[in-house]
Amino acid sequence: MNIVGNPTSAVEETLDPQDWEAVRRLGHRMVDDLVEQLSTVRQRPVWQRVPDPVRAALREPLPVHGQPLEHVYEEFRSRVRPYPTGNIHPRFWGWVMGTGTVTGALADLLAAGMNSSVSIFDDAPSLVEEQVTRWFVEAMGFPETASGLLVSGGSMANLVGLAVARNARAGHDVRAHGVGGTIFTLYASSETHNSVAKAVELLGLGREHLRKVAVDGDFRIDTGALATAIEADRAAGRRPLAVIANAGTVNTGAVDPLHALADLCAREGLWLHVDGAFGAMAALSPELRPRVAGIERADSLAFDLHKWAYAPLEVGCVLVRQADEHRAAFAAAADYLAAARGGLVARREKFSDMGVQLSRNFRSLKLWMMLKEHGFAKLGRLVAQNVAQARHLAALVDAQPALERVAPVPLNVVCFRYRGGLSEPAALDALNRELVVRLHESGIAAPSGTLVRGSYAVRAAITNHRSRRDDFRILVDACLDIGRELEKTT
Amino acid sequence: MNIVGNPTSAVEETLDPQDWEAVRRLGHRMVDDLVEQLSTVRQRPVWQRVPDPVRAALREPLPVHGQPLEHVYEEFRSRVRPYPTGNIHPRFWGWVMGTGTVTGALADLLAAGMNSSVSIFDDAPSLVEEQVTRWFVEAMGFPETASGLLVSGGSMANLVGLAVARNARAGHDVRAHGVGGTIFTLYASSETHNSVAKAVELLGLGREHLRKVAVDGDFRIDTGALATAIEADRAAGRRPLAVIANAGTVNTGAVDPLHALADLCAREGLWLHVDGAFGAMAALSPELRPRVAGIERADSLAFDLHKWAYAPLEVGCVLVRQADEHRAAFAAAADYLAAARGGLVARREKFSDMGVQLSRNFRSLKLWMMLKEHGFAKLGRLVAQNVAQARHLAALVDAQPALERVAPVPLNVVCFRYRGGLSEPAALDALNRELVVRLHESGIAAPSGTLVRGSYAVRAAITNHRSRRDDFRILVDACLDIGRELEKTT
């Protein structure tokens, strides 16, 4: 890098603007554009490929010298904003991604303006995060003594929960001595999200010691097979550590039998971690809560809030039943972090003692504002609305002879495929794979694709507060049109 | 939780506002308030304790029903914003925390408005993050083939770097089989930040296998002691894995001898990870770059951008010299993440293959906008300006017989204490501990405190683009005033 310029200039510089009034006007424009963008999102394609000239423009040499912020914003408007992932759109149902809200976006502005670190300090942002996590402790039916931490999302929530499990249950001081030669085993259904395996790998436990237990016809873990696997590991001298239960599997939304797993874990002395990435939100709806009954018995529970709580990225939450075990997994003494009798570090309970990060942003503000604005009751109704929309979509699919549903719909995920007159598995897979690509490229709708029992399926995971019933008819019509077109050329 | 309400209501609901125009007006007010808050921050105390009535008000029952967003914002204005951590203030120099910028805050609004997940998708936000990490690859002098990932901050950057080190150098497939019985040893100076020990613990390697190597009089790692420690571990059958070098230690800003460590690591076949949390930013200043010479030889490099690059929280970066080793540590195949020939997942290089998270927010936007607005040259000048301010503060301290500097000032950290007529170590510690608390409570300035060679010291880490030379005189005057006051009562 060839940075030419004065060494230290004589006049002290700052990153503050010379003209605050100009920034104020530009900020107003940004708000206007944001409102325009979100209130008209339905009129635009769900997704569109970044055109090659824009791709080229987004590869620039390192900017040695600056330019007016207004110019930078114009580049954002022309090169960046038109090409989002698409999950703000009412017909985006790919993977599991939340819609975001305008309140959440404004809250991120306010949070970044304060720029507080929610960590070891005695300040209002720390109190707000405490408040928000206490609300989720209550909403999930955890005991008041449980601890909670907001994290970047489900992957980190799973990592934190399993780190606590490892450190609390290994039987030796893993933090000091390491994992060592003992083989610790963990158990989860074959439908479990990859972030669990990633956490097991990162914790040094070895992916092959995460037993992928078979599922039943509804994609729920087979508790008999689980018990057999635990017994076999014990007999072989390995040390069973934890069961990871799914509240909403990524592929089909299946919920493992949580009460049965909690009973089994209690009997066997195993840690029960629930990955409730999106499914845990069913607990917020009185009508859906029975579907995740037993979730309140977990030793640790991970869930996203940027998925089915619709908050903008990034925010997830991990709850740990025994707060002392939570802190024991991460707490550390360091000279530069010591608490004091008063001032900035009068605070005794440090957020950094409950997870990986020391510096942490004020991500709780968007939850605090959204939950106070809308209330938990409405959030629960929206979750139930998405589940009703999934049932509606399933019915639309079932009514079409050319389409075929390939999994039950226990919650908000619908897996189906175009079948038409085809029966050859490879041809069906190829057609449906191409169908998803063409749907994306059409801009009409964005489901994702996955393999269900080895067959490629179109998958709609509905965690979208902008979707309306009619949007699902549009999806089905597009699948039929594209499917028929593709079938002709097969 | 007793959520009373309709089950699924007949009319479909949304979290979008009924009145977009009202949100637009409120957004304008938020921008106005933000500009007011930041442009007048110097006129307010650096920090003030949240008053008890406000604390009580921030403990509310779970909000079942909603309220107008305007009310929620009023609560934010009265209960939250007046009580930040304080690092936006020109006289905040505690721990190591960045100031933030108005551009960064506005960029967070824009990013949350798009709500894109920078992960596996073919979209503009992914291209922006690629661009920003390429700039830092170049700025740090890494080869073009290196990989980079934006993360939440230094703790996560250290974790990712050391995870790559572990997986690349353990000599067996740690991801599959776990750490196992081999004892892997790591080496870092006694001045190393706790996040490194936290990462070692999390990775299952055991904190006691992180050797805390002695430092010289300038708080730099003693390379002779390091070589001896490595030799002793090898002789005892342990397996040396990595050296963690500091580019800017947390306590005093010391920079380990990076070239010597790179030579040693090359000789010994060890991974060199550099924790450059703030110190790496010295590489952006032509006049300071020699102080971190050798940083470009690291196998992995961690640095924050919400510290000495002044961006709002959260953003840090990890660079890995060999991109294939980076991806090999995290890459995973999952049915629901498979790439396609086109559409949303035409992208082959996944950000989720380089770190813990799958869903990731658009944190690169604030860097992209700030770097394009101000340019790297100005960023380097500001870093150099903070270093010059540290020298200035050191000179002010040295000129006061009642004050005593307790460590060299190689970069931007100044450690000193009030001495007055005292000499008894315990009394000096107690007085200076109280002095820091009173400084915070006065609202005049916010340094932090730490132990330097066992003695309590006032510590100013200057990573603040709003500080002016005169601010350091105010700090010194306040220390003298409070110190004299306290000495009277000792």
Contacts of A367 (CB under 8 A, 6+ apart): A132, A150, A305, A309, A311, A315
Task: Name every chain B residue with its beta carbon within 8 A of the beta carbon of A450.
Answer: 335-336
- A380 in the same domain as A355: no
Q: In this structure, which amino acid lies at residue B164?
A: V
Q: In this structure, which amino acid lies at residue A377?
A: A
Interface predicted TM-score (ipTM) of this complex, two decimals: 0.97
Asked if B38 lies within 8 A of A356 by C-beta distance, the reply is no
Span A423-441, pLDDT tens digits: 999 999 999 999 999 999 9
Q: What percent of chain A has pLDDT over 90?
A: 94
Bridge partner residues of B212 (DSSP):
B188
A6 falls in which pLDDT band (50, 70, 90)? very low
- B387 in the same domain as B353: no
Report how far apart, in Å, the C-alpha atoms of B117 and of each of A63, A84, B312 are.
25, 9, 19
The whole-angstrom separation of Cα A239 and Cα A166 is: 11
Report how far apart, in Å, the C-alpha atoms of A126 and of each of A236, B89, B322 are.
47, 18, 39
Res A410 pLDDT > 80: yes
- B295 in the same domain as B209: yes
Do B310 and A15 touch, CB atoms closer than 8 A?
Answer: yes
Is the CB of A248 inside 8 Å of chain B's CB atoms? no
Span B9-18, pLDDT tens digits: 457 999 999 9
Q: How many CA atoms lie within 13 A of A424 on its CB side?
A: 6
Q: What is the mean pLDDT of residues A174-200?
A: 97
Res A10 pLDDT > 70: no
The whole-angstrom separation of Cα B210 and Cα A187 is: 31
Choose, out of B2, B110, B285, the residue to mutate when testing the contact with A (most A CBs < 10 Å): B110
- A354 in the same domain as A381: no
Query: Taking the mean position of all CA atoms in its chain, how far away is CA A77?
Result: 27
Span B314-332, pLDDT tens digits: 999 999 999 999 999 999 8
Is the CB of A266 inside 8 Å of chain B's CB atoms? no
CB < 8 Å & 24+ apart, contacts of B453-457: B453/B406, B455/B406, B455/B417, B455/B425, B455/B428, B455/B429, B456/B417, B456/B428, B456/B429, B456/B430, B456/B432, B457/B406, B457/B407, B457/B415, B457/B416, B457/B417, B457/B432
Task: Name every chain A residue with its beta carbon within 8 A of the beta carbon of B149.
Answer: none
Is the CB of A70 inside 8 Å of chain B's CB atoms? no
We report the CATH number of the domain holding residue B409 as 3.90.1150.170
| Number of domains composing chain A | 3
- B347 in the same domain as B407: no
**Left (φ > 0), alpha (ψ -120 to 50) or beta: where does A248 sit?**
left
Asked if A115 lies within 8 A of B84 by C-beta distance, the reply is yes
Asked if B359 lies within 8 A of A153 by C-beta distance, the reply is yes
Is the CB of B127 inside 8 Å of chain A's CB atoms? yes
Is the CB of B144 inside 8 Å of chain A's CB atoms? no
Q: What percent of chain B has pLDDT over 90?
A: 94
The answer as to whether A8 is a domain residue is no
| Amino acid B347: pLDDT | 81
Which residue is listed with tokens 């390697």? B205
Q: Which residue of A has its CA nearest to B432?
A: A340
We report the CATH number of the domain holding residue A235 as 3.40.640.10
The answer as to whether B90 is a domain residue is no
Task: Name every chain B residue with its beta carbon within 8 A of the beta carbon of A104.
Answer: 112
Q: How many CA atoms lie within 13 A of A63 on its CB side?
A: 22
By the 10 Å C-beta count (0-12 exposed, 13-18 middle, 19+ buried), A387 is classed as: buried
| Amino acid A333: pLDDT | 79
B2: which 2 tokens? Answer: 């007793």
Q: 3-class DSSP state for residue B176?
A: helix
Span B379-431, pLDDT tens digits: 999 999 999 999 999 999 999 999 999 999 999 999 999 999 999 999 999 99
What is the nearest CA distance from A32 to chain B, expressed in angstroms?
6
Span B203-251, pLDDT tens digits: 999 999 999 999 999 999 999 999 999 999 999 999 999 999 999 999 9
Closest-CA residue to A284 (of A385, A159, A393): A385
B13: phi then psi, degrees, rounded to nearest 5: -105, 170
Which residue among A8, A113, A251 sits closest to B38, beta carbon to beta carbon? A113
CB < 8 Å & 24+ apart, contacts of B232-240: B233/B185, B237/B183, B238/B182, B238/B183, B238/B184, B238/B185, B238/B209, B239/B170, B239/B171, B239/B182, B239/B183, B239/B184, B239/B185, B240/B184, B240/B185, B240/B186, B240/B187, B240/B268, B240/B270
Bridge partner residues of B320 (DSSP):
B147, B300
Span A272-296, pLDDT tens digits: 999 999 999 999 999 999 999 999 9
Q: What is the mean pLDDT of residues A238-259?
A: 98
Closest-CA residue to A253 (of A174, A331, A307, A322): A307
Choose, out of B47, B80, B166, the residue to mutate when testing the contact with A (most A CBs < 10 Å): B80
Q: Which H/E stretch holds residue A384?
A: helix A364-398
The answer as to whether A110 is a domain residue is no
- B409 in the same domain as B332: no
The whole-angstrom separation of Cα B36 and Cα B38 is: 6
Is the CB of A75 inside 8 Å of chain B's CB atoms? yes
Asked if B436 lies within 8 A of A83 by C-beta distance, the reply is no
Do A164 and A150 touch, CB atoms closer than 8 A?
Answer: no
Q: Give residue B331's domain range.
A: 116-361
The answer as to whether A369 is a domain residue is no
Mean pLDDT of chain B, nearest integer: 96
The answer as to whether B100 is a domain residue is no
Do A83 and B123 touch, CB atoms closer than 8 A?
Answer: yes
Res A490 pLDDT > 90: no
The whole-angstrom separation of Cα A338 and Cα A346 is: 9
Q: What percent of chain A has pLDDT over 70?
A: 98
Asked if A112 lies within 8 A of B313 by C-beta distance, the reply is yes
Least confident of A4-8, A116-120, B179-183, B328-332: A4-8
Asked which of B361, B389, B406 is the last residue of a domain, the reply is B361
A348 falls in which pLDDT band (50, 70, 90)? confident
Res B169 pLDDT > 50: yes
Count of other CB atoms within 10 angstroms of residue B322: 16
Q: What is the mean pLDDT of residues A199-224?
A: 98
Q: Which H/E stretch holds residue A450?
A: strand A448-452
B334 falls in which pLDDT band (50, 70, 90)? confident
The answer as to whether B229 is a domain residue is yes
Q: In this structure, which amino acid lies at residue B125?
A: P
What is the nearest CA distance from A173 to chain B, expressed in angstroms?
9
Taking CB atoms and an 8 Å cut-off, how many pairs form between chains A and B?
597
Name the pTM for this structure.
0.97
Those of residues 273-312 in A touching chain B at CB distance below 8 A are: 284-287, 304, 306-307, 310, 312
- A313 in the same domain as A287: yes
Bridge partner residues of A316 (DSSP):
A151, A304
Asked if B101 lies within 8 A of A15 by C-beta distance, the reply is yes
Q: Is the peptide bond before A314 cis (omega within 30 degrees of 0)?
A: yes
* Strands B300-304 and B271-275, bridge-based pairing: parallel
Is the CB of B328 inside 8 Å of chain A's CB atoms? no
Q: In this structure, which amino acid lies at residue B319?
A: L
Q: What is the mean pLDDT of residues B338-345?
A: 88
Asked which of A360, A389, A408 is the last residue of a domain, the reply is A360
Asked which of B321, B339, B361 is the last residue of a domain, the reply is B361
Task: Name every chain A residue with its beta carbon within 8 A of the beta carbon of B330.
Answer: 198
- B398 in the same domain as B356: no
- A336 in the same domain as A202: yes
Q: In this structure, which amino acid lies at residue A454?
A: G
Those of residues 390-429 in B touching chain A at CB distance below 8 A are: none
What is the nearest CA distance from A256 to chain B, expressed in angstroms?
19
Asked if A112 lies within 8 A of B124 by C-beta distance, the reply is no
Closest-CA residue to B104 (of B381, B350, B465): B465
- A63 in the same domain as A145: no
Do A221 and A188 touch, CB atoms closer than 8 A?
Answer: yes
Asked if B441 lies within 8 A of A343 by C-beta distance, the reply is yes
Asked if A97 lies within 8 A of B103 by C-beta distance, the reply is no
What is the nearest CA distance from A214 to chain B, expressed in angstroms?
17
Q: 3-class DSSP state for residue A422?
A: coil
Q: 3-class DSSP state for residue B359?
A: coil
Mean pLDDT of chain A, nearest integer: 96
Q: Which H/E stretch holds residue B224?
A: helix B223-235
B91: which 2 tokens? Answer: 């006289």
- B465 in the same domain as B329: no
- A289 in the same domain as A337: yes
Termini Cα distance of chain B: 53
Q: What is the mean pLDDT of residues B467-471?
A: 98
By the 10 Å C-beta count (0-12 exposed, 13-18 middle, 19+ buried), A20 is classed as: middle
Contacts of B43 (CB under 8 A, 6+ apart): none
Query: What are the DSSP E strand ranges found in B291-419?
Result: 300-304, 316-320, 403-405, 413-418
Asked if B100 lies within 8 A of A112 by C-beta distance, the reply is yes
Which residue is listed with tokens 């035409």? B346
| Amino acid B251: pLDDT | 96
Q: Which H/E stretch holds residue A458?
A: strand A455-461
A440: which 2 tokens? Answer: 């994306």
Asked if B342 lies within 8 A of A5 by C-beta distance, the reply is no
The answer as to whether B83 is a domain residue is no
Higher pLDDT: B8 or A447? It is: A447
Q: In this structure, which amino acid lies at residue B462?
A: I
Q: How many CA atoms lie within 13 A of A122 on its CB side?
A: 23
The whole-angstrom separation of Cα B309 and Cα B312 is: 9
The answer as to whether B447 is a domain residue is yes
What is the nearest CA distance from A373 to chain B, expressed in angstroms?
5
